[in-house]
Chain A
Amino acid sequence: MGDCILPGLINSFGDLLCEGEYHLHSRFRSAVNFLSGDSLASVVTHCVGPGPMNIVVDGAAVVESLTICRDSILLNGISFPRSAEMRYDSRVNISKVLDTEQLRINIAVASNCLLESSSPRSLVFLLDGARDVGSESSFEREFVRRTRMGAALLFGGNAKTGTLALRGLGFGLTPSGDDFLSGVLTAYVTVARHPGIDFDEESEIIYRNGRGRNPMSNALLRCAKDGFLPEKYKTAVEAVVNHDKSSIGRPIRTLLEVGETSGADFAVGLVLGLKNVIGSKGHQKWLYAAA
């Protein structure tokens, strides 16, 4: 290995990692992304944490090569065992009985938490028009307008056009629109497991039309469609859907730590998606008022 710097031991690995020889895609301080065909695998630090396609190690940034075998993971050519106790279970666990009254309260609590704590550059303006303080930048003004329009279409019965309008829209390596769509998809998929709620068609439309050429966005969308999520996302979703309102604040705030706005954008999508689901059951009119 010559002067190769060794990564630390593997702390956890995701349950959706595919076997294969991977090549380096992109490198950041806390994450190194690898691709093998369409399959993504990310070697990450503790601050990013476990995920369906994450391998959590000390010293992620020094990883140069990755091969995933059935029983082992090779980092920089060094083999680490894939022991069962290190496997991260990314499936979102949802209670069998959906308490819509509780869910309605939880959505309001999550929404307030987002309004209080989200980055001003996130899509939180979709929850409250007053949060859009206006911008001197014509790009940002147009971004806000298109996002509002896309969300209105998405929840107003035109899922395909709405998805196409939002896909790839915004700042960052995973643009805000992609994170938002993953949040909406998660809302539809998690509650669609309950009898009497059918969002299969909308989920399929969002998934089919939300995919682009960005492997990171595509991976998150695929995970959301199948009900698998990184730990910070999963904990927040389970808190909103399963638990009482007192358990929501901390996981939502932890989710907001993901990226500059990624966690917040996902959470806004989740909240609006859940609102849409509740509205569709006739329990309550959908409250969202997009421009």
Chain B
Amino acid sequence: MAVCGRIIKGKYYDSVSLMTLSKRLLEVDGVKESVAVMGTLENKAVLESSGLIIPEFKESIDTDLLIAIQADDENLARQALAAADNILAGLVKADNDALDSGPWSLEGAFTRIPDANLALISVSGKYAAGMAMNSLRLGIHVMLFSDNVPLKSEIELKRFAREKGLLVMGPDCGTAIINGVPLGFANVVNRGNIGIVAASGTGLQEVTCLISNNGAGISQAIGTGSRDLKSEVGAITFLEATNLLLADDATGIILLISKPPDHSVVEKIAAVLKDISKPVVTVFLGQDSDLIKGENVHSASTLEESALLAVALSLGENPDKVHEKIVARDRKLQELATTEVFRVAKGRKFVRGLFSGGTFCSEAQLILKGMGLEISSNVPISGAGKLAQAAKASGHDFIDFGSDEFTVGKPHPMIDFSLRNKSLIGLATDAETAVILLDIVLGYGANENPLAEIIPAIIQARGIAASYGKCPAIICSVTGTNEDPQNRGRVVAELEKAGVSVAESNAAACKLAGFIAGKFEEKA
């Protein structure tokens, strides 16, 4: 084992950069340990105790950056040190690119792009509303990625926008596809004639991908923000966007996605849809499927069903066949469940869902509750139990790792898998876990290399579980397309190689999990 190191003087990097550097160096072949810290006396003492000191470090001062690498031999350690230069250069370049790319104010942006007609705003919630209002006053639409915008400001912005004939997508709007351009967390999907309005980011991603993967395409995908269908806001964006799609020549079918709207809002939506001229598919997760009726309205109970209905309408197929298609697919899932059960040890009986997408967690609860399971979650749906402590498994538990308790001060779990991986490995030692249910979301903004994050955790979990007897089944849905930067096909193939059952949608994954749990209950 050899240790190499270097001192960098007069350059300063923030803690995120230093931790990124340490992490990336560990990925270099042969590297056993890597550290990048400031050269304080105390850090040098720690380096010494850890066997990571080199004589040159002793001369360093508090403001020097020390990089220490321990590798199988000196040659590998030196190669890693050379890699450190490249990694740091890359981090600096990313910062410089950000600096160069500017602009740094709304006015500056307009100087550069005078014909811009949409502002994507992602600043602290405290300042977001003001910036959004300035954008609206300049006559441009707004996508408000920021959250923590007061409800009062949201109402004020949306009312103002409506008067001006503009759209406010958000606050807390993470996904949109406008004129083929993906904004925020979005996927590379086919263009087509299906226009979507959604009050759910991951829901929108799931549906756009399923549509694309089933041979149809998207005209526009408009996010509204999760509070838009509350009575206080009155679905202003939802209705404005629906009307825009109605007037849009490129849109032939309209798909509406939301959790159950407030009662007063349902009436407003119903009034718009009653005599609508274009076919509309609705999915109000957790609400009666015939919540809103109309001659041209087709209701779905899952994201998957809504996507398939829209595809059928888009391709000129009979939408009634969609139900039959899903029933036939579910029969296959039941058969698969029978085989999966034999791979799972006796005594294991619970489904544990570890989700990065909030809507997926809600949909999983709805589906599995509908299949008769008694469920709990840190973000429970109506009728589900509240997990007192999100990390402790006790029954059929569903955890949304995107909720505030896990994400404050940390990247979203669609980007950083570490917390969920920890739970995944922890569940492997739990003798009652029969099924671990996961979601992976691909596309722009999501983790660029999800396999490198999740596969080692799955292998470790399976290894640990095997030492206790048979493993729990691991079932995963992958939201994405083969055109996404991560390539869904490749991700699915690698997951399957690692022993994971990959379903074509979140709904299918949940049903498979439910069928397996049902088989265990039959046995009991």
A174 to B127, CA, bound (A): 27
- Given A25-B12, A139-B35, A213-B63, decide whether A58 and B42 contact each other with a Cβ distance below 8 A: no
| Size range of the chain B interface in the assembly | 35 or more
A4 at the interface (CB under 8 A from B): no
A246 at the interface (CB under 8 A from B): no
A169 to B35, CA, bound (A): 13
- Given A26-B12, A172-B15, A259-B14, decide whether A139 and B418 contact each other with a Cβ distance below 8 A: no
B108 at the interface (CB under 8 A from A): yes
- Scan A108-125; emit 1 where CB is below 8 A from any B CB, else 0: 000000001111110000
Q: Let me know if A172 and B43 touch, CB within 8 A.
A: no
B13 at the interface (CB under 8 A from A): yes
Interface residues of B in 10-53 (CB under 8 A from A): 12-16, 18-19, 33, 35-38, 40-43, 45-47, 49-52
B61 at the interface (CB under 8 A from A): yes
- Given A59-B108, A213-B62, decide whether A138 and B408 contact each other with a Cβ distance below 8 A: no
Q: Let me know if A61 and B40 touch, CB within 8 A.
A: no
Q: Which residue of B lies closest to A254 (CB)?
A: B408
Q: Let me know if A257 and B409 touch, CB within 8 A.
A: yes
- Given A47-B124, A168-B41, A259-B14, decide whether A138 and B51 contact each other with a Cβ distance below 8 A: yes
Q: Let me know if B409 and A175 touch, CB within 8 A.
A: no
Q: Which residue of B lies closest to A249 (CB)?
A: B404
Q: Which residue of B lies closest to A250 (CB)?
A: B148
Kindly identify which residue among B13, B50, B61, B406 contacts A142, using a CB–CB cutoff of 8 Å: B50
Q: Let me know if A168 and B99 touch, CB within 8 A.
A: no
B339 at the interface (CB under 8 A from A): no
A191 at the interface (CB under 8 A from B): no
A193 to B288, CA, bound (A): 60
Q: Which residues from chain A contact B102 at a C-beta distance below 8 Å?
A: 5, 59, 62
Kindly identify which residue among A46, A213, A259 contacts B126, using a CB–CB cutoff of 8 Å: A46
Q: Let me know if B15 and A173 touch, CB within 8 A.
A: yes
Q: Let me know if B124 and A46 touch, CB within 8 A.
A: yes
B382 at the interface (CB under 8 A from A): no
A143 at the interface (CB under 8 A from B): yes
Q: Let me know if A29 and B15 touch, CB within 8 A.
A: no
* CB proximity of B185 to chain A, nearest CB, Å: 19
Q: Which residues from chain B contact A46 at a C-beta distance below 8 Å?
A: 123-124, 126-127
Q: Let me know if A173 and B38 touch, CB within 8 A.
A: yes
Q: Let me know if B409 and A117 touch, CB within 8 A.
A: yes
Q: Let me know if A175 and B38 touch, CB within 8 A.
A: yes
Q: Let me know if A120 and B418 touch, CB within 8 A.
A: yes
Q: Let me know if B15 and A263 touch, CB within 8 A.
A: no
A269 at the interface (CB under 8 A from B): no
Interface residues of B in 334-358 (CB under 8 A from A): none
Q: Let me know if B409 and A172 touch, CB within 8 A.
A: no
- Scan A18-60; emit 1 where CB is below 8 A from any B CB, else 0: 0000000111110001000000000000110100000000111
Q: Let me know if A171 and B99 touch, CB within 8 A.
A: no
* CB proximity of B513 to chain A, nearest CB, Å: 27
Q: Which residue of A lies closest to B408 (CB)?
A: A253
- Given A26-B12, A61-B104, A213-B61, decide whether A168 and B405 contact each other with a Cβ distance below 8 A: no
Q: Which residues from chain B contact A174 at a C-beta distance below 8 Å?
A: 15
How many A-B residue contacts, CB cutoff 8 Å?
A: 143
Interface residues of A in 253-273 (CB under 8 A from B): 253-254, 256-264
| Size range of the chain A interface in the assembly | 35 or more
- Scan A129-164; emit 1 where CB is below 8 A from any B CB, else 0: 000010001110111001000000000000000001
Q: Let me know if A142 and B46 touch, CB within 8 A.
A: yes
Q: Which residues from chain B contact A61 at a C-beta distance below 8 Å?
A: 98-99, 104
Q: Let me know if A47 and B33 touch, CB within 8 A.
A: no
A62 to B101, CA, bound (A): 11
B95 at the interface (CB under 8 A from A): yes
Q: Let me know if A175 and B43 touch, CB within 8 A.
A: yes
Q: Which residues from chain A contact B467 at a C-beta distance below 8 Å?
A: none
- Given A28-B95, A47-B123, A117-B408, decide whether A143 and B108 contact each other with a Cβ distance below 8 A: no
A137 to B47, CA, bound (A): 11
- Given A46-B124, A168-B38, decide whether A214 and B43 contact each other with a Cβ distance below 8 A: no
- Given A138-B33, A263-B409, decide whether A170 and B422 contact each other with a Cβ distance below 8 A: no
A77 at the interface (CB under 8 A from B): no
A184 at the interface (CB under 8 A from B): no
Q: Which residues from chain B contact A25 at a C-beta distance below 8 Å?
A: 12
Q: Let me know if A168 and B42 touch, CB within 8 A.
A: yes
Q: Let me know if B42 and A177 touch, CB within 8 A.
A: yes
Q: Which residues from chain A contact B99 at a C-beta distance below 8 Å?
A: 29, 61-62
A98 to B419, CA, bound (A): 38
A81 at the interface (CB under 8 A from B): no
Kindly identify which residue among A58, A119, A168 contacts B409, using a CB–CB cutoff of 8 Å: A119
Q: Which residues from chain B contact A29 at a C-beta distance below 8 Å?
A: 95, 98-99
Q: Which residues from chain B contact A60 at a C-beta distance below 8 Å?
A: 104
Q: Let me know if A146 and B405 touch, CB within 8 A.
A: no
Q: Which residues from chain B contact A27 at a C-beta distance below 8 Å?
A: 12
A92 at the interface (CB under 8 A from B): no
Q: Let me know if A49 and B124 touch, CB within 8 A.
A: yes
Kindly identify which residue among A5, A26, A259 contacts B15, using a CB–CB cutoff of 8 Å: A259
B410 at the interface (CB under 8 A from A): yes
10 contacts between A and B (CB under 8 A): A5-B104, A28-B12, A28-B95, A46-B126, A47-B123, A61-B104, A120-B422, A138-B50, A170-B43, A214-B38
Given contacts A58-B104, A139-B47, A169-B46, 14 further A-B contacts (CB under 8 A): A7-B104, A25-B12, A33-B12, A59-B108, A61-B99, A120-B419, A137-B50, A139-B35, A168-B42, A170-B37, A172-B14, A175-B38, A214-B63, A254-B408
Top 10 closest pairs, chain A to chain B, by CB: A59-B104, A168-B40, A172-B15, A256-B409, A26-B12, A213-B62, A138-B50, A169-B42, A260-B15, A253-B408
